[in-house]
Amino acid sequence: MSDTEPRTDGGATATTTARLRRKIDRLTVEDVGLYVVLTLAAAFYLVPIESGLVTSFKTGTAIIETAPFAPPGPSGLTFEKWRTAIDVLLRGMGNSLLYAVPATVISAFVGSITAYGLTIPTWKKSYKALVLMLIIAGIFIPYQAVLVPLTQFWSQWAQLTEVLSFVWALGINDDYVGIIELVITHVAYGIPICTLLFRTYYKTMSDEMIESARLDGATLRRVYRRIVLPLSGPMFAVVLIYQFTQIWNDLLFTLVIVSTESSPAAPVVLILAGLGTSMEGQDFALRMAGAFFAALPTLAVYIFFGEEFAEGVAA
Amino acid sequence: MLDFYRRLYRTIRPSSGDDDEARPGDAEVRADGGVVSDGAAGSAAEPERDLVTRIKSALDRRFGSDFMESSVFWLPPFLLMGLFVYGAVIWNLLISLTDYERFENAPDYSNLDFEMYTRALADSGFIDAAINTLILLIAFTAGTLAVGLVLAILIDRGIRFENTFRTIYLLPMSLSFVVTAQFWLWIYNYNNGIANSLIGTVGLGPVSWLGNQDIVLYAIIFALMWQFSGYAMVVYLAGLRAIPTEHYEAAKVDGASTLKMYWRVIIPQLKGATISAAVVLMVFGMKAFDFLYSLVGGYRPPNGADILATKMVREAYANLNWAYGSAIAIVLFGMALSVIGPYLVYEYRRDNL
């Protein structure tokens, strides 16, 4: 036994070396250039993020004395900024989750149902195209064009604060009405993109099974529940991830619906936008720490589900 | 459409006619909406079912066999979306014709005019913002597409670690504008930022990136390109993968150089990818509001970087000129529509909807 071990080891090394040599032989100048360019590009995308990360751990003097992308020395290292950022932003994180999660789940389901109704059943194509055009155009409209009416709607027309008075009676701050308004708003404006994503998926679905089910007399509802929904899993992953990122990251709606960062219902982006600015100047370390803390959920989603995210944005 | 109503009327006439005679006073109300409930209210259940099936079959004949049954699925979400999107845009248009401002509770719709639009044309701030918006849209879209295309071509050359590179390039896209604004604020910092220390190594600068009116817009465009070129890369990569290998080989056999091959053979085939990516990027560009707001932590972007999106929100929510803000929003909407409209028609023609 003791004999064979070194031999296999040595053999493996030999082949690896040979393989490596062959590879180097094949490597042309062009290839080397290619990898250099790709790596430089990767550095270009990473440096802003990396320098933000190292800066968030620096003391005030370290920020001035060290290069922006260099890690802090042992004397310039501090976790104080992270502690402050977490202190300030934690409630915002909770608030953001409170509307981002329901809004994501609801809009994904609604999008799936809408896309199903517009893809699988047979009805006149030209009418379908009209409905689809109106829906898809909804993805692209600048939200500025609906802001003032939206404010009017929530503040003057839909008196949710009064309707939900029994909730505030339980001791919940009535600013949280903003969270409910945000859920409804994000669902309404999320329907177009969710529908489009599901539709691209349902279009590729084999219709043999669905057609035979229809011939057997299955209703559309049954076809959806038994065939289409169980097969929608992969697309649900894509849509949920895409929607969650979009809703979590959105500032505009939170700004006009919740409006003040001091509100107990303020989402994390709203607090972050005003973090680290004071009369004495800007506290960059605090800003960076806050930015990273607020980005944690979307970063986690991206790192674990990068493929689905790429698929979502490509559609 | 008219034809449809006529046919619908013809199908439902017999039973509603009966009811009209019985209660002539209600005839007008019932003629349009109350038809179905009329039958239910009447003593005979049989004509009612007959009526419903007739309407259903008339609709089915008009729209296709599953129209009625499928409407349960798409109609309610469509209406909700329509209300929030198109209803709101129309409402916004109305508000922009009023003089609604300050702490009035609701706009006064009795006196509509185009005053806000003439005011916009006379407002140099509006003109500057409109020009900046156009520069931003064009430079940002073109630049992002170019970077994305180059990256996609490089990645598509059968490299190793392809997934790693792709993940890194797309990473900024997953971040919020609010977050990336913090990063770039730090990069563009006058004293300690990377941008200045980088150009310092070649003996330039320091430059006040966000303070110089002539530079700030391009500095912001650069930051936005950083965030979204990964997106353009993903779209182009999908386009490149759809091109058959024979096209590459044919070009090689013809003896075309790599550069020529891409320019003459491959890039023209990416027209579809370019168009859809460009439309999406322009829309992202119009939404750059979040970025500019977070950069300064307020409604007033750095001098020289005001765009329509920020001006609209500032006029409405900081200056409380609601009607004026709405008018700017309508201009922005018009700009978006002039991009989206042709795009949707194009997709429809390609049968891609």
- The 3-state secondary structure of chain B reads CHHHHHHHHHHHHHHHHHHHHHCHHHHHHHHHCCHHHHHHHCCCHHHHHHHHHHHHHHHHHHHCCCHHHHHHHHHHHHHHHHHHHHHHHHHHHHHHCCCCCCCCCCCCCCCCCCHHHHHHHHCHHHHHHHHHHHHHHHHHHHHHHHHHHHHHHHHCCCCCCHHHHHHHHHHHHHCCHHHHHHHHHHHCCCCCCHHHHHHHCCCCCCCCCCCCCCCHHHHHHHHHHHHHHHHHHHHHHHHHHCCCHHHHHHHHHCCCCHHHHHHHHHHHHHHHHHHHHHHHHHHHHHCCHHHHHHHHCCCCCCCCCCCHHHHHHHHHHHCCCHHHHHHHHHHHHHHHHHHHHHHHHHHHHCCCC
| A233 class by beta-carbon count within 10 Å (0-12 exposed, 13-18 middle, 19+ buried) | exposed
Of the candidates B66, B287, B341, which has its C-beta nearest A121's C-beta?
B66
ipTM reported for the complex surpasses 0.85: no
B198-237 residues touching A, CB cutoff 8 A: 226, 230-231, 234-235
Residues B290-312 have pLDDT tens digits of 888 888 877 888 888 888 888 88
What is residue A315's predicted lDDT score, i.e. its pLDDT? Answer: 65
Residues A28-85 have pLDDT tens digits of 777 788 888 888 888 889 888 888 888 888 877 777 777 777 777 777 788 888 888 8
| B275 class by beta-carbon count within 10 Å (0-12 exposed, 13-18 middle, 19+ buried) | middle
Q: Residue A278 in 3-state DSSP? A: strand
Residues of chain A with Cβ-Cβ distance to B235 below 8 Å are 314
Retrieve residue B333's tokens: 């909407």
- Cβ–Cβ under 8 Å, residues B229 and B264: no
What is residue A63's predicted lDDT score, i.e. its pLDDT? Answer: 76
Of the candidates B182, B235, B309, which has its C-beta nearest A288's C-beta?
B182
**DSSP-H helix ranges across chain A:** 4-26, 29-55, 60-65, 80-119, 125-140, 144-152, 160-163, 165-168, 177-203, 207-215, 220-223, 229-231, 233-249, 252-257, 268-273, 284-304, 306-314
Residues of chain A with Cβ-Cβ distance to B185 below 8 Å are 282, 284, 287
What is residue B330's predicted lDDT score, i.e. its pLDDT? Answer: 92
Q: By CA distance, what is B188's nearest residue in A?
A: A48
Q: By CA distance, what is B235's nearest residue in A?
A: A314
Q: Highest-confidence range of A57-71, B41-55, B331-345, by mean pLDDT? A: B331-345
Distance of CA A141 to the CA centre of its chain: 20
Residues of chain B with Cβ-Cβ distance to A143 below 8 Å are 287
State whether A123 and B66 contact (CB < 8 Å).
yes
Whole-number Å distance between alpha carbons of A151 and A165: 20
Inform me whether the C-beta atom of residue B149 falls under 8 Å from chain A C-beta atoms. no
Q: Residue A282 in 3-state DSSP? A: strand
Q: In sequence order, which residues have a C-beta less than 8 Å from that of residue A127 and are 6 or more positions away?
A: B63, B64, B67
State whether A135 and B78 contact (CB < 8 Å).
yes
B88: closest CA among B321, B316, B330, B312? B330
State whether B182 and A116 contact (CB < 8 Å).
no
Retrieve residue A180's tokens: 């409910």
High-pLDDT (> 90) share of chain B, %: 9
Q: In sequence order, which residues have a C-beta less than 8 Å from that of residue A201 and are 6 or more positions away?
A: A115, A232, A234, A235
State whether A294 and B176 contact (CB < 8 Å).
yes
Q: Does pLDDT of B39 surpass 50?
A: no
Q: What are phi and psi of B44, to 5 degrees?
A: -85, 125
Of the candidates A64, A132, A224, which has its C-beta nearest B353's C-beta?
A132
| B186 class by beta-carbon count within 10 Å (0-12 exposed, 13-18 middle, 19+ buried) | buried
Of the candidates B81, B287, B313, which has its C-beta nearest A191's C-beta?
B81
3-state secondary structure A28-74: CHHHHHHHHHHHHHHHHHHHHHHHHHHHCCECHHHHHHCCCCCCCCH
What is residue B16's predicted lDDT score, i.e. its pLDDT? Answer: 39
Whole-number Å distance between alpha carbons of B59 and B37: 18
Retrieve residue B309's tokens: 């999106």
Q: Highest-confidence range of A151-165, A287-301, B12-26, by mean pLDDT? A: A287-301
Q: Out of A89-93, A160-164, B301-305, which region has the weakest mean confidence (pLDDT)?
A: A160-164
Residues of chain B with Cβ-Cβ distance to A248 below 8 Å are 176
Residue reference for tokens 């109305």:
B94
Residues A228-261 have pLDDT tens digits of 888 888 888 888 888 898 898 888 898 888 877 7
Handedness of CA B232, B235, B241, B242 (dihedral sign): negative
- Cβ–Cβ under 8 Å, residues A63 and A285: yes
- Cβ–Cβ under 8 Å, residues A102 and A184: no
Whole-number Å distance between alpha carbons of A180 and A184: 6
| A40 class by beta-carbon count within 10 Å (0-12 exposed, 13-18 middle, 19+ buried) | exposed
Element at A277 (helix H, strand E): strand A277-278
Q: Does pLDDT of A226 surpass 70?
A: yes
What is residue A20's predicted lDDT score, i.e. its pLDDT? Answer: 60
The single-letter DSSP state of residue A280 is: T
Element at A281 (helix H, strand E): strand A281-282
Whole-number Å distance between alpha carbons of A66 and B224: 27
- Cβ–Cβ under 8 Å, residues A275 and A290: yes
Q: How far separated are the first and last CA of chain A, in Å rounded?
A: 57
Q: Residue A305 in 3-state DSSP? A: coil
B332: closest CA among B318, B315, B353, B345? B315
- Cβ–Cβ under 8 Å, residues B51 and B36: yes
Q: In sequence order, which residues have a C-beta less than 8 Å from that of residue A7 and are 6 or more positions away?
A: none
State whether B226 and A45 contact (CB < 8 Å).
yes
Residues of chain A with Cβ-Cβ distance to B279 below 8 Å are 140
Q: In sequence order, which residues have a C-beta less than 8 Å from that of residue B40 and are 6 or more positions away?
A: B48
- Cβ–Cβ under 8 Å, residues B227 and B179: no
Q: By CA distance, what is A243's nearest residue in B?
A: B174
Inform me whether the C-beta atom of residue B59 falls under 8 Å from chain A C-beta atoms. no
Helix pair B124-155, B322-349: axis angle to 10 deg: 30
Of the candidates A134, A146, A195, which has its C-beta nearest B92's C-beta?
A146
Longest dimension (CA), chain A: 86
Retrieve residue B286's tokens: 């119009």
Q: Does pLDDT of B254 surpass 70?
A: yes
Handedness of CA A71, A75, A79, A85 (dihedral sign): negative
State whether B83 and A188 contact (CB < 8 Å).
yes
Q: What is the pTM of this model?
A: 0.79
Half-sphere exposure of A243 (CA within 13 A, CB side): 35
Of B96 and A121, which is predicted with more confidence?
B96
State whether B154 and A38 contact (CB < 8 Å).
yes
Q: Out of A10-24, A91-105, A223-237, B53-67, which region has the weakest mean confidence (pLDDT)?
A: A10-24
Q: CA of B37, closest CA in chain A: separation in Å?
A: 25
